[in-house]
Structure 1
Amino acid sequence: MTAHFGWNLRQLYVKNAFLHGVLQEEVYMSQPSGFSDPQHSDYVCKLHKSLYGLKQAPRAWNDRFTSFLPSLDFKTTHAYPSLFVKQFGSSVVLLLFYVDDIIITGNALSLINDVIVALTKEFDIKDLGPLHFFLGIQVISQNDGLVISQEKYVKDLITKTEMLDSKPCSTLCLPYNRLVLDDGKPYNNPALYRSVVGALQYLTFTRSDIAFAVHQVCQFMQTPMESHFSAVNRILRYLKGTVRLGIRYVQGGLEVNSDTVRAFSDADWAGDPNDRRSTTGFVIFLGSNPTSWFSKKQQIVSRSSTEAEYRALAATAAELDWIKQLLTFVHLDIPSSPFLYCDNMLAIALISNLVLHQRTKHIEVDIHFVCERVAKKQLHV
């Protein structure tokens, strides 16, 4: 939305955020060193506000901040509890926060400034100006939109794994090659494997191209093999040659037309050689900008390619429901129902044929979930 409408992005930082939280439980602590009462050395202190290190501190801060925002006419939604919206006539202000980092944007600069002033009076807040860096994600503003990437994060990861002198690789993995559970010798440093793979998971926030390959290596966290770590090294070599890649959001990417929200779903039937489960993958676009993507193994084995594709359709339809709810909350009207594209004709045929045959009874819930939305014209497949 920021890229499309050309809004400004402001970033705020809350100093000593956890110290602002008010405790609801009774918590006591020993007298701190240097501030003890010599006449009552056996006394303890009762805390009224939270301190760093308390288990209650994060929740106390979150409750304090979220309970203050309604006084500024902000509203929240169950679709995304960290997102708050303030509407005043035609003016809209969006506030997104994560612990002590806050992003504010909207179409009314004066209203944004008023919100910042009110927050500064209540909390110890530092205005960092235009958004450039947020939770390891770089934001680069351009004349026709913005670019988000994790270039610095990738460089730090390559340095940490000592892959600076490695040869870049043009592909993430070998074609049609799937990792096997007990392939070769066990890797001698499982902790390093888990650390690197966990870092790669965070990288998928801006690198949708590595989502499937990272999903594969994530399945062997418990007992990784040397072949699995070789697959991780191949991903790192690919990242070394594509450090600067990111996602570009263009201005005007949400033109009002019949194809504003598009989703593409797919599944590989019984693609995992270890348990023969299928993998669901989808990507959702708002206009020409990608906003949500997903690659995950299905929870149960599918007995046909149609069943695997239909489970992917149902997962994508559920994500579209969430996005529609979120767009309604931020007052962005979508003129038509989303379009969901699938390359399996039998799965599409099941939507218009509600007669459940013997071999499709076990996916009855998924079928009704999608069919109901198509019948109400809330979704086009």
Structure 2
Amino acid sequence: MSKDPRTVVIIGAGVIGLTIAHVLSSDPSNACEIVMIARDMPEDIDSQGWASPWAGANWTPMPMGGLDERIKRWETVTFNKLWDMIPTGLVKPLPSRMYSDQENNFVDPWYKDLPRDFRVLPSHDIPSVYKSGIGFTTISVNPSVYLSWLKSQLESRGVQFVRKKLRSIEEAADAAGPDGIVVNATSLGARSLIGVQDTKMYPVRGQTILVHAPHLREFLGEAEVYPNGGVTYMIPRPGPDSTVLLGGTTQAHNWDTSYDKETSDQIFTRCAALEPRLLEKDTVHVLSHNVGLRPAREGGPRVEIEWMKLPLEGRLVPRMDSAIPQARKVLVLHAYGFGPAGYQESWGAAEEAVNLLKSSILRSGSN
């Protein structure tokens, strides 16, 4: 990076923006001042305006890793990073089982070398309602604790946090200054951020139930998605409070953030069929019903560099002040659109994003 500190403004304080800031600030050679500007901050765990507090926040097999080598690399880097963090208590190792009603669903999966202890389950270890199954050891984090840890790490390194809703890339560039850099980690906000307005972004509605269930200590799930967007999984979380997230739904293009009782009943019924101990009323207690919108993108996540011309064209573009803007270019790093995989791709994507940023600065001849 530049020898003279420059300002890097990161828009969005979700898991992707925070992880990029962590990677950027971890290397002393990256001489920069980092400012995170966001409407929602890590302490806003009850806000439905962003996705990070509502995530499953574990590693779960997803199809994109088998279709895109870049995403597979992100997932590999992230899994290994989180696995190494287990001694901190922030990350929980989880023995896991997944089942399918398809006989050949788990034949040579792309992820077989990624989680630990991967194995195809023998027929006598598979419930009779399923036709195949796999076992492995995965990891999970508790979003409220993990996001707060990331923020505290960044604050200890001098990263500034500013609570503000930015309406345009130009506002972010103004905050970064003449030689500044903008990182666009706005997730669903990329649809409406002026200068980006990415109409490929769309929500995937997720509804879950958080329960206290101290005797549930493994990840359980089904591979299939039901016609109404229902999915079945149970994710124990790290920490002494013995919480387990029961899911869920994956409903594309659904913006509804309201609680739906019928959906909740279906989630609990499916999970209890897979793990009957959920019906033990003396030990299992419902703590909350949750609804969040995953920030998905047609064609997959966008992680790339763009040099944007300022001022943005159009007389309706809002500005922070009435000063006449000077014509210039600003370096923008886009990192958004991770859908349901933000946590499990975060470290790999952040490392690539920072490398892209450093390479672009070197190519531009900046000193």
Verify same fold: TM over 0.5. Answer: no
User: TM-score, normalised to structure 2's length?
Assistant: 0.24
Q: Which has the larger radius of gyration?
A: 1
